[in-house]
Amino acid sequence: MSEVHFLSIDEMAAMVPDAASVTVHKGDEADVPMALAKALIRRGARGLHLITLPTAAYPVSGMMVDLLIGAGCVDSVETSGISLHELGAAPRFTGAVKSGRLKVLDATCPAVYAGLQAGAKGQPFAPLRGLIGSDLMRHRSDYRVIDNPYLPGDRIAVVPAINADVAIFHAPRVDAEGNVWIGRDRDRVLAAHAARRVLVTVERQVPGSFFDDETLTAGVIPAHYFDGVALAPGGSWPMAVDGSVDLDAVRRYQQAAQSDEGFARYLRAEVFAPGTVPYA
Amino acid sequence: MNASLGESAAPVRPEELFASVIADLLTGVRHVAVGMLSPVPGAGALLARQLGEGRMRVSILGSRAQNRWTNGGAELFDLAGRGGVDAFFLSGGQIDGQGNINLVGTGAYPQTEVRWSGCFGSAYLYFVVPRVILFRWEHSRRTLVEQVDFVSAPGRSPSGVYRPGGPIALVTNLCLFDFAKSTGRFQLRSIHPGHTIEEVRDQTGFDFDCGQRIPTTPGPDTSRLALLRGPVAEQIADVYPGFAQKIFGSPGRPLRSAPDLPAPG
């Protein structure tokens, strides 16, 4: 049915260069490109700068970021929060911060959104209320305070635009033209508008065009935004496309990641072993 | 034995008391939002909505059912910036006597001895939401400190800084404090059943104001308990299945269902 050129998951991983800045999503929807993250680990990606939009603090988004950090793919992360949600801390993230291996640009959620929105508009920065008096302002040299040009004496923070080298995310459907339906979660639209390169893994392809059905179009990112599409059914596992999570799988990961040995065993069994690469 | 009688006769759990306290703090609120890692505040907000016969708008991050956002994660912050979120909840690995909160870690930043998740929306919502309720279920000298190691968000702001919002109260597993914006200090309002003023003093790392006679925090009555163990338990399981299972014995799985996506063509 398709005129869409699908990449293999490993071809897609090759399009995320070392040292690239990469946006990833918060994971309350099945937007977590876990299959791609595993392919990045297999290809030995290094020096990535992850930007979480705005957090990676649900079980599966936290797990994916933790895996990438633990596997040595990440040098720095800009985030408003990384954890495994109800299950607790993300072990490789916290360990890497304490050891100094990982540089963290701590942020607050609306500052990440404001930066992305500025980036999507092609504007240099965005003003944002709040922030003043927090230690984020002391440690984020790129966050500044200016005088409101329209109201003398009113001080307001500004944050720089975020234009990531690559946006990566998972989505439920791609149509025959390569348009991607993401539903109501506009975060993926924002990421696609702000990034220089956009790579999407999708659950499955459907015939026709989403633009033939007006009830769907508000949830669609048009094909021309994408630099690569890969079919990855179950690509956000342990989150299913309906948003349900296999929490036991995340607990198994969390347990394994408590030690270097356990984490290495987990990588061998779940990332590198034959049979763990269903989409290659 | 009648199963439903057995359930209503079950003793009040601490989390049920906390949720009831939070519901009282939300009296008169039009729209309350519940952020990350906030199952008890979520239960309290849902209880408040039940008590207000459904008039209160409750938005719970991460929930599909308790969630009417269609413009991505930024919509909450945009709305809060326009004054459209009346109440929100924040916690902290450390909370100090001036209402400053720390969600980042202990020790010298950035290589903190203990690293927590991060600031989330605190460095913004604390400024713009009028009624921020602080919560912390470990009331101890390591959590309630004289001075936080990292200010994720400050309790007060100097003049010249836009600050319509801020803390109004702090709920812990021992007591309820009010926060006085004028003095920038906490004042003890009530002590939860089974705890004492000596215990509160002993476990609090900051100085606080305290009247002569401190009342006991009222617990949830049977009708509140029935609401908590019925509709609230079911609704909170959508986003906090582990919590719902532990506290209310609800099914330990998310209740969300797949979006109904018609396939074109």
Q: What is the 3-state secondary structure (H, E, C) of chain B?
A: CCHHHHHHCCCCCHHHHHHHHHHHHCCCCCEEEECCCCHHHHHHHHHHHHHCCCCCEEEECCCCCCCCCCCCCHHHHHHHHCCCCCEEEECCCEEECCCCEECCEECCCCCCCEECCCCCCHHHHHHHCCEEEEEECCCCCCCEECCCCCCCECCCCCCCECCCCCEEEEEECCEEEEEECCCCEEEEEEECCCCCHHHHHHHCCCCCECCCCCCECCCCCHHHHHHHHHHHHHHHCCCCHHHHHHHHCCCCCCCCCCCCCCCCC
Q: Report if pTM > 0.80.
A: yes
Q: What is the pLDDT of residue B251?
A: 59
Interface test with B, best of A97, A108, A141, A211 (most B CBs within 10 A): A108
Question: Nearest-CA distance from A62 to chain B in Å?
Answer: 10
Judging contacts by C-beta atoms under 8 Å, the chain B residues touching residue A53 are 73
Nearest to B259 among A183, A186, A244 (CB): A183
Asked if A55 and B265 come within 8 Å (Cβ–Cβ), the reply is: no
Judging contacts by C-beta atoms under 8 Å, the chain B residues touching residue A167 are none
CA B116, B192, B203: angle at the middle one, nearest 5? 50
Judging contacts by C-beta atoms under 8 Å, the chain A residues touching residue B242 are 86-87, 247
Tell whether A155 and A166 lie within a shared domain.
no
Interface predicted TM-score (ipTM): 0.95
Tell whether A197 and A257 lie within a shared domain.
yes
Tell whether A181 and A251 lie within a shared domain.
yes
Tell whether A94 and A153 lie within a shared domain.
no
Nearest to A128 among B124, B241, B263 (CB): B124
Asked if A208 and B265 come within 8 Å (Cβ–Cβ), the reply is: yes
Asked if A134 and B154 come within 8 Å (Cβ–Cβ), the reply is: yes
Please name the helix (run of DSSP H) or strand (run of DSSP E) that holds residue A173, with its range, or none: strand A166-174
pLDDT in tens, B28-37: 999 999 987 8
Name the one residue in this structure whose structure tokens are 């072990």: A91
* Chain center to CA of A101: 20
Q: What is the pLDDT of residue B182?
A: 94
Tell whether A155 and A220 lie within a shared domain.
no
Asked if B120 and A108 come within 8 Å (Cβ–Cβ), the reply is: yes
Judging contacts by C-beta atoms under 8 Å, the chain A residues touching residue B152 are 108, 134-136
Asked if A243 and B70 come within 8 Å (Cβ–Cβ), the reply is: no
Top pLDDT among A185 and B157 is at: B157
- Let me know if residue A279 belongs to a domain: no
Q: What is the pLDDT of residue A262?
A: 98
Long-range contacts from A12-17, C-beta under 8 angstroms, 24+ separation: A12/A36, A12/A39, A12/A199, A12/A201, A12/A228, A12/A230, A13/A39, A13/A40, A13/A42, A13/A43, A13/A45, A14/A43, A15/A166, A15/A197, A15/A199, A15/A227, A15/A228, A16/A40, A16/A45, A16/A48, A16/A166, A16/A168, A16/A199, A17/A165
Please give the backbone phi and psi of residue A109, each rounded to the nearest 5 degrees, phi first: -45, -55
Distance CA B23, CA B176 (A): 13
pLDDT in tens, A212-227: 999 999 999 999 999 9
Question: Nearest-CA distance from A209 to chain B in Å?
Answer: 7
Q: What is the pLDDT of residue B257?
A: 38
Distance CA B225, CA A65 (A): 40
Please give the backbone phi and psi of residue B102, each rounded to the nearest 5 degrees, phi first: -125, 115
Question: Nearest-CA distance from A278 to chain B in Å?
Answer: 24
Judging contacts by C-beta atoms under 8 Å, the chain A residues touching residue B243 are 86
Judging contacts by C-beta atoms under 8 Å, the chain A residues touching residue B118 are 55, 57, 79-82, 104, 106-107
Nearest to A86 among B64, B121, B240 (CB): B240
Give the CB-side neighbour count of residue B70, counting CA atoms within 13 A: 3
Judging contacts by C-beta atoms under 8 Å, the chain B residues touching residue A87 are 242
Name the one residue in this structure whose structure tokens are 């009282």: B24
Tell whether A108 and A21 lie within a shared domain.
yes
Partnered with residue A56 across adjacent β-strands are A82
- Let me know if residue A1 belongs to a domain: no
User: Which residue of chain B has the CA closest to A107?
Assistant: B119
Find, among B104, B105, B156, the residue nearest to B127 by Cα.
Answer: B156
Tell whether A140 and A172 lie within a shared domain.
no
Nearest to A86 among B109, B243, B263 (CB): B243
* Number of domains forming the structure of chain A: 2
| CATH label of the domain that carries residue A58 | 3.40.1080.10
pLDDT in tens, A226-251: 999 999 999 999 999 988 899 999 99
Assess contact for B76 and B57: CB atoms under 8 A: no
Asked if A136 and B152 come within 8 Å (Cβ–Cβ), the reply is: yes
- Let me know if residue A280 belongs to a domain: no
Asked if A187 and B258 come within 8 Å (Cβ–Cβ), the reply is: no
User: Which residue of chain A has the CA closest to B39?
Assistant: A86
Tell whether A14 and A138 lie within a shared domain.
no
- Let me know if residue A120 belongs to a domain: no
Find, among B224, B251, B241, B239, the residue nearest to B44 by Cα.
Answer: B224
pLDDT in tens, A42-65: 999 999 999 999 999 999 999 999
Distance CA B146, CA B133 (A): 19
Asked if B128 and A190 come within 8 Å (Cβ–Cβ), the reply is: no
Tell whether A51 and A99 lie within a shared domain.
yes
CATH class of residue range B12-91+117-136+152-248: alpha beta
Q: What is the pLDDT of residue B224?
A: 97
- Let me know if residue A207 belongs to a domain: yes
Partnered with residue A22 across adjacent β-strands are A50, A166
Tell whether A225 and A175 lie within a shared domain.
yes
Tell whether A183 and A141 lie within a shared domain.
no
pLDDT in tens, A63-116: 999 999 999 999 999 999 999 998 999 999 999 999 999 999 999 999 999 999
- Burial zone of A132 (CB within 10 Å; 0-12 exposed, 13-18 middle, 19+ buried): buried
Judging contacts by C-beta atoms under 8 Å, the chain B residues touching residue A176 are 265
Q: Which of A239-243, B4-8, B115-119 has the highest mean pLDDT?
A: B115-119
Tell whether A149 and A169 lie within a shared domain.
no
- Let me know if residue A206 belongs to a domain: yes
Nearest to A243 among B117, B121, B256 (CB): B256
Nearest to A206 among B124, B127, B264 (CB): B264
Give me the residue spans of the domains in chain B: 12-91+117-136+152-248
Asked if A83 and B240 come within 8 Å (Cβ–Cβ), the reply is: no
Assess contact for B236 and B244: CB atoms under 8 A: yes
- Let me know if residue A17 belongs to a domain: yes
Domain that holds residue A191: 6-114+161-272
